[in-house]
């Protein structure tokens, strides 16, 4: 990578402003002053200093967010608070985006990253990445429903879903509600809600627990986030 590109990506200014920095003789690579903007540098191998301070460069960032209801899975919106509004971006030069979308009233796990390659792999239909949700359902979920989901159900637009794993966790006869866990491998618009609607039931509450190998940290409160660990990132990239 060219040194001017790396410095610009690190938030030190535009390419033009970075060239001025280089001319001021305050940029060092492995102890040597560098002025040529075309100088090649490896941020993983080379020691880069600016006026004596070490530059800590990250090409990609990965955040796990426990999305609350009322927040939309977008980078910007004039009407609603977005998931990026929940991040403290003042120290983040990179521009992360949500990997997939959770409905505005859905809570739970949302991955945010600027790694476009990983985003594509996780969302690509051909990779069949598991997404597991916890839900409260209006109605009694039966073994017939479990069997129907296992085969795939027809949505309101005629689309036949892929097989889904549905587990009944608890049933309340008095309130006529059910607590369930469902794992799907697709991400159609309002898919979980539409699947239950197809069997005559409605979703009252929905929370995503996991996406592929990434599981929501139980210590993350609603609206809180943290950086993914190296182990989590490696698992995601191996998905």
**Which one of the listed residues 103, 105, 130, 217 is annotated catalytic?**
103
- Of 180, 165, 104, 169, the closest CA to residue 130 belongs to 165
SS3 state at 80: coil
Measured CA to CA, the distance from residue 50 to residue 199 in angstroms comes to 62
pTM of this structure: 0.81
pLDDT of 73 higher than 90: yes
**pLDDT value at residue 42:** 85
Give the pLDDT confidence of 112-163 residue by residue, as tens digits.
Answer: 999 999 999 999 988 999 999 999 999 999 999 999 999 999 999 999 999 9
- Judging by beta carbons within 10 Å of its beta carbon (0-12, 13-18, 19+), is residue 166 exposed, middle or buried? buried
**Confidence band of 5 (pLDDT split at 50, 70, 90):** confident
**pLDDT value at residue 11:** 66
Catalytic, 42? Answer: no
**pLDDT value at residue 90:** 53
Q: Which residue has the tokens 């943290």?
A: 226
| Residue-by-residue DSSP string for 32-51 | EE---TT-B--TTTS-EEET
Give the pLDDT confidence of 165-224 residue by residue, as tens digits.
Answer: 999 999 999 999 999 999 999 989 999 999 999 999 999 999 999 999 999 999 999 999
**Domains delineated in the chain:** 3-54 (3.10.290.10), 62-125+213-237 (3.30.70.580), 130-211 (3.30.70.1560)
Report how far apart, in Å, the C-alpha atoms of 60 and of each of 63, 75, 105, 115 are. Answer: 10, 17, 29, 6
**Confidence band of 7 (pLDDT split at 50, 70, 90):** confident
pLDDT of 23 higher than 80: yes
């Amino acid at each position: 990578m060219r040194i001017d590109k790396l410095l610009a990506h690190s938030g030190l200014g535009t390419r033009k402003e970075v060239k001025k920095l280089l001319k001021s003789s305050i940029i060092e690579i492995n102890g040597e002053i560098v002025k040529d903007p075309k100088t090649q540098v490896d941020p993983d191998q080379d020691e880069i200093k600016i006026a004596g301070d070490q530059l800590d460069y990250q090409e990609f960032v990965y955040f796990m967010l426990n999305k609350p209801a009322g927040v939309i899975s977008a980078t910007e919106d004039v009407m609603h608070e977005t998931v990026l509004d929940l991040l403290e971006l003042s120290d983040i030069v990179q521009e992360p985006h949500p990997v997939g979308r959770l409905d505005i009233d859905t809570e739970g796990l949302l991955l945010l990253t600027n790694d476009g390659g990983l985003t594509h792999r996780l969302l690509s239909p051909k990779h069949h990445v598991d997404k597991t949700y916890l839900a409260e359902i209006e109605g009694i979920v039966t073994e017939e429903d479990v069997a129907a989901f296992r085969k795939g159900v027809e949505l309101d637009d005629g689309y036949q879903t892929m097989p889904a794993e549905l587990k009944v966790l608890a049933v309340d006869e008095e309130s006529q509600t059910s607590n369930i866990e469902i794992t799907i491998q697709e991400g159609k618009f309002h898919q979980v809600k539409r699947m239950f609607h197809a069997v005559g039931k409605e979703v009252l509450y929905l929370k995503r627990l996991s996406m592929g190998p990434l599981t929501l940290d139980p210590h993350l409160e609603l609206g809180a986030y943290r950086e993914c660990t190296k182990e989590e990132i490696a698992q995601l990239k191996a998905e």
